[in-house]
């Protein structure tokens, strides 16, 4: 779906009233709330989805993104760790965990997660760059 064709929050709310049990619609609504900066409301939606789907790694990842945007790094880390535990081969989940660990000055774990990210996705230039930055800081 392109940005131009993306439904508005009002349209999504109307559809949710018609189809309150549609988890796909609720996830799209939560994503739109994030896009609009309504992070606390998005958290409510994602938490409801997690209650019904506790094994869906992307839900934990999205909550991690919200907490990262709110600069709640420990909470973000916890949710990224849950996402990685459920989906250890997802390079994006690992990168987000590494980045949060890096921002929290948990250097050893950040290095480990950046390396795992690169193993999963050797073309991830951000992981290479951030790992290089850590090594540069260590050498100083």
10-residue mean pLDDT series, the chain (140 residues): 69 93 94 95 97 97 97 98 99 98 96 98 98 89
Task: State residue 2 phi and psi, 5-degree precision.
Answer: -80, 160
d(CA 77, CA 121): 21
- What domains lie within the chain, and their CATH numbers? 1-54 (no CATH), 76-139 (1.25.40.10)
What pLDDT is stored for residue 1 in this prediction? 46
Question: Minimal CA–CA distance to 76: which of 94, 64, 60?
Answer: 64
Kindly list the distances between the CA atom of residue 17 and the CA atoms of 14, 22, 29, 42, 76, in Å, as whole numbers in the listed order.
5, 10, 12, 17, 30
Say how many CA atoms lie within 13 Å of 49 toward its Cβ: 24
What local confidence, expressed as pLDDT, does residue 4 receive? Answer: 58
pTM assigned to the model: 0.89
Burial of 21 (0-12, 13-18, 19+ CB in 10 A): exposed
Question: Strand, helix or coil at 123?
Answer: coil
Rounded CA gap, 33 and 29, in Å?
A: 6
Sign of torsion over alpha carbons 74, 79, 84, 90: negative
> Which pLDDT belongs to residue 137?
87
The per-residue pLDDT for 6 is 72
């Amino acid at each position: 779906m392109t940005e131009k064709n993306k439904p508005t929050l009002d349209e999504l709310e109307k559809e949710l009233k018609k189809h309150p049990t549609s988890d796909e619609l609720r996830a799209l609504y939560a994503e739109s709330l994030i896009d609009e900066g309504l992070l606390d409301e998005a958290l409510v939606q994602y938490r409801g989805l997690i209650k019904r789907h506790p094994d869906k790694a992307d839900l934990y990842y999205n909550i991690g993104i919200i907490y990262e945007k709110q600069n709640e790094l420990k909470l973000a880390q916890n949710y990224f760790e849950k996402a990685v535990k459920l989906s250890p081969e997802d390079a994006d989940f690992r990168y987000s965990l590494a980045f949060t660990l890096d921002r929290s000055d948990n250097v050893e774990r950040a290095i480990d997660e950046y390396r795992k990210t690169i193993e999963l996705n050797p073309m991830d230039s951000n992981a290479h760059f951030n790992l290089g930055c850590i090594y540069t800081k260590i050498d100083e």
